[in-house]
Amino acid sequence: MTLWFLLHVCATSLLAAAAAASVITSPRSLVLWHGLGDSHSSPGMLEFMKLIEEVHPGMFIHSVFIEQDLSKDRRAGFYGNIDDQVKLAAEQMSSIPELEHGFDAVGLSQGGQFLRAYVERYNDPPVNNLITFGSQHMGISDIPLCKPNDFICQLARRAAKSAVYSSWAQNNLIQAQYFRDPANYGTYLEAGHFLPFINNEVEEMRNQTYAKNLASLNKLVLVIFTEDKTVVPKESAWFGSEEISDGKGIARTLSNQEPLSTWESTIIPMREQPLYTEDWIGLRELDERGDVVLESCVGEHMQMSDCWKDLIVEYAGGPL
């Protein structure tokens, strides 16, 4: 046996051992879905990805996009059909080799309920842990206010408030598709194209696959912003919602007067929701296993400061 052959065998063995160690220690891939008014590779998202990579060196991170062009991707957060966007994202994720064995996912604001819709409807490749920050899981009862010079937002808000449950709005305005008016709940169930279905609120259309898929998560981490005035009610991030009323208060939710956040309202917490008590989407099963985690970030909507870091350390980037 020659010296060259021995060296070759040793080198091959070392390379194989290194490759095996790499597989074992490589962090699980991560998928991000940005929020309203943002895009997949905006400066803020790129900075967030960089910070996550510092926490989990070597992690593969994919930021979901509806359009490659940043301005068009931002616009897609206001205009489009959520069902179509979630389907496109599912096709996108299934085509990425680094995700084929599963991944953790982080949804920022509306990106959180979109990722939950992915889990319920597709989940192939599967999500391990899902973390959502300030997401509108039980919808919103007021359209978020816009920055003074954000004309795309202003146009979308004006159109949504004028006829939120019209067929056009439900097919073309993103925020209208998760608008859940507690004073007009029947119309929400009849006209809503997205949220009533992923929440399995429409009795004759309940899909058991949604419950099975959500319950397949390892952890569902729900983060609320304590001073959130953008998401109304803020408790939607924890599957809380305003109490369904008798319809007499409809003017207060759709008027151009005071935003709903200035009114007193009764909040129904997650564990008192019919969605939970009757386990329409697998949420109670997850919770009874101890796998629903309720967390808080102190501050306004998406003021994350460093509150994200411990959650990313604990619930993202584990071994495959």
Considering the candidates 228, 236, 279, 287, report the single residue annotated as catalytic.
228
Name 129's bridge partners. 219
pLDDT at position 159 is 75
**58, 4, 64, 51: which is closest to 320 by C-alpha?**
58
- Residue 20 three-state SS: helix
β-pairing, 292-297 vs 267-268, is unpaired
Q: Is 109 assigned a catalytic role? A: yes
For the chain, domains (ranges, CATH) are: 28-315 (3.40.50.1820)
Sequence-ordered list of residues with C-beta below 8 angstroms from that of 93, at least 6 positions apart, any chain? 31, 62, 64, 99, 103, 118, 125
With DSSP H G I counted as helix, E B as strand and the rest as coil, what are the percentages for the chain, rounded to 5? 45, 15, 40
Calpha distance 316→10 (Å, rounded): 36
Calpha distance 56→285 (Å, rounded): 30
Task: Extract the tokens encoding 114.
Answer: 């979109």
Q: Is 301 assigned a catalytic role? A: yes
In the numeric block, the tokens 């101890």 are attached to 290
**253, 236, 49: which is closest to 142 by C-alpha?**
253
Q: Is 137 assigned a catalytic role? A: no
Considering the candidates 29, 109, 141, 236, report the single residue annotated as catalytic.
109
pLDDT at position 155 is 82
Contact between residue 219 and residue 315 where contact means Cβ atoms under 8 Å apart:
yes
In the numeric block, the tokens 């194989």 are attached to 16
pLDDT tens sequence for the chain (320 residues): 454 444 344 444 444 444 444 445 689 999 999 999 999 999 999 999 999 999 999 999 999 999 999 999 999 999 999 999 999 999 999 999 999 999 999 999 999 999 999 999 999 999 999 999 999 999 999 877 787 888 788 887 777 777 899 999 999 999 999 999 999 999 999 999 999 999 999 999 999 999 999 999 999 999 999 999 999 999 999 999 999 984 533 333 333 333 444 345 799 999 999 999 999 999 999 999 999 999 999 999 999 999 999 999 999 998 87
One-letter amino acid for residue 312 of the chain: I
pLDDT at position 4 is 44
